[in-house]
Structure 1
Amino acid sequence: MIDKSSAEHKVARVIHVYQGVSLGVAVLAFFWTVLFVVNGLPLMALAEFCPVVTALVCFVLVTRRHFDLFLLVVQISFFIFIIGFSLMFDLPQNGAPRATYLFLPVLGMLAYINHLRRHSRMQLSVIAASLVAFVVLCGADLRLPFAQPMPPELHRPYIWLNSTVAAIMFCGTIYALQQRLAVPRGIARDLVAALRHGGLSLAYQPQTDRHGHILGAEALLRWNHPTRGPVSPGTFIPAAEEMGLMPMIGSFVLEQALETLARWQADPKLSSLRLSVNVSASQFNEDDFEATLHGLLDRYQIDPTRLRLELTESVLIAGLEPVAAKMIALKKLGLTFSLDDFGTGFSSLAYLRRLPVSELKIDRSFVATVAENDRDAALVRSIRAIATDLGLETVAEGVENPAQLAFLLTTGCRIFQGYLFGRPAPRLDFETAVKAEPVPQIRIA
């Protein structure tokens, strides 16, 4: 349902923001490091240099898209630094308060924004720890027994500069939070209107064999906004997830997909096609999902083996056993399952043997560089070996050039999806392409 490549621009923007913040922190910390060295305060300089190193490490992590590790390093290291520096050097003196602890609310706000993005007990712990530490450092003159107060001539400019930076950063996090909360509500309101007035539709991207013969398609959700034009799924799908609209949108997609399969079933030239539909975790884990799907199958009287449900490991948030039980019950109806984004998660191998899947989808992030990157090439070969050993089919996503196709063929992959074979298209255009003769041939250089 989600065209995953459409989210790349949003990810790139997030990366640029994190890179900018990391460099900004590094520059500020380096400024104080140099100032402390010039004033003969080597211990303070060494302490202040720690955020410089941390910020540069964070820059590298976010550039390489290790977002979870990036957040872990940022939150733990800067929390420790703020507490340590406040108790060791930044002490109240001569009527002047501390300043370093003013960054704690910023840290807590960032943790809250990350918690909204993906609920986590760790983020809640960071929020609580930041707020408690802020109150304690604000209300009590705590210091280590061997503390070395900052010289008064440096302490006052330190307070003014750091207080200003902390205030600016806090305003920035408030703005980010406002955007984070406002955008999903606005999108959700427009999405509901689109569902009611026919603003949502499905596009169909071919899944083919090596010669370009179309075996089926993946249904991808599209939204043509009346004023904003086409809206990226990378924008509205996360907003729909956050606002709890995915079961409603998923039901629409399923109904449209089954209506399409019923149409194909009545046409001899299309009756052999299968259709893959991405099902979100929130939709699949609804109590009435099985009953809803059963009702749709009864209404449209399609061959259920032609419908393939694509799931990601996020569906396991409800637990392995209940998810496996629901999949087994649906498989008895004739439905088949595909494991999407295989190889990008942490627990795929652990649960693969427990879930009744028929297919693995090789993620486009691996396919993109198989012809140049030995590690990604090795990963793709491993995925194919696992699939072969377990008797599963594989679909390679994001195939865009003959070099990628040539490599995938050497691994034994037989089904492909990507721009090399066809872009997502409206149903009538897709059906016309299937019926066209002769069958288009994809030649390998």
Structure 2
Amino acid sequence: MSTPSARTRLTEPLQDTSRVYYALVGVALVLVLGMLYSFVTVLTQGHAVTGLNNWGTDAGVPWGLDIGAFTWWALMGVGAIALSAIIRVFRMDDYEPYARIGELVTPLAFLASFLHILFDLGQPFRVFNTLLYLPLESPIAWDVLLLGGLGVLSIAYLLVSIRRDLHELYHDGVLPSALSPVYDALLIGYEPAAANDGRDVQWWLAAAVLVFIPVVGGGLVPFVWGPFGVNINWFGAIQGPTFLAGSMTVGAATLLFVAGVLRFAYDLDDVFTDVTLRRFGVFTGAFAFTYLLGVFYEVQTGTFAADMADPTVSSLVFQGPLAPLLWLAIAAVVLPTIYLVVQQALGRFSLAGTVVFAGVMLVGVLHQETWLTVGGLLYPDLMYPVGEYTPSIYEWLNLMGTTALVALGLLVFAKTLPVVATNGVEPDR
């Protein structure tokens, strides 16, 4: 049976607040304010300040870093909840702490993903207009619909998952009393005697997630729009499995990164152990290798497309102006993969190395998704000038702001929700 000191350590994130915590909250708030400044600037002055422009005679690129970030956050949300569901369905007890992280990250990632769509549209009223007159011919419209459905499912999944821990901690007086009305609302209908039934509901929700994800990650959108060939990363239905592999890569790297940070911050060596972190790193590397294969298949498919614009762009990816972007992204994914796999093969472990390389992999996939989005749009199908694009300060503020918003959400969760499962651990007496 666990000792009382174990319970104390597991509840430490809820009770002990250091200066570092307040400093991180302060930095996150500053970056969120920067994001709001960027949004208001674009709202009042238009997209001209971002450097985005019309495709064609204006030699502009209509999509940039915001769409790349939208895809990246969507990958993270899908991957995080998928890994959590896999752990729950197959009852992988050693990895349950990682499942809880995935459940907390998923809604935040989907929120950040939606915000980048809002930033790209420029005005909130355009969002409502898009919902009223939904452009069913747009692949992104379907992406948003399907990801929105998965987001709702993820919130229900999170609530079912945390209710048992929430009930125990709330009645032990560990949680902040100021939020008592919120906790009372979340615990409506919960009976401790029905805890096993709650786990059964959780299992079925996790199973539903695993059924739903292939539709989001590899189903309707690539099946319908894959034959269009309007962009190098839209040609062929291989984009579906590639998105799914990318989501597992980003999701696993995120869980690895957050788990490493939590272990360092709260000395949770026996929760996020060397063995589980090493093994999780190997799975992350395997997902990353599969993702890179999918990216190569996407680009290679474009080399023999019926539309000559695709072969032209695809050749530039390997040996033209776009080649450095491709190889930089590959290096940012391959090097962490090698490190994580070799670490397991040698039976060694470095917490700092694992966290750093997981972060590098996340940046690498973001870079990959952004340049793939922009790369094809630089070269119009018709005889228009080649476009130019450099991310503006406003787009960088958007990305830093959504990243800070997700980090701020996790910091708030650390003080208000059971980030680490505590059920079955004896409270201090």
What band does the TM-score fall into relative to the shorter chain? Answer: under 0.3
> Which has the higher relative contact order, 1 or 2, with Cα contacts under 8 A spaced 6 or more apart?
2
Report the structure number with the largest CA radius of gyration. Answer: 1
- Which structure shows the bigger proportion of residues in helix conformation? 2
TM-score relative to the length of structure 1: 0.24
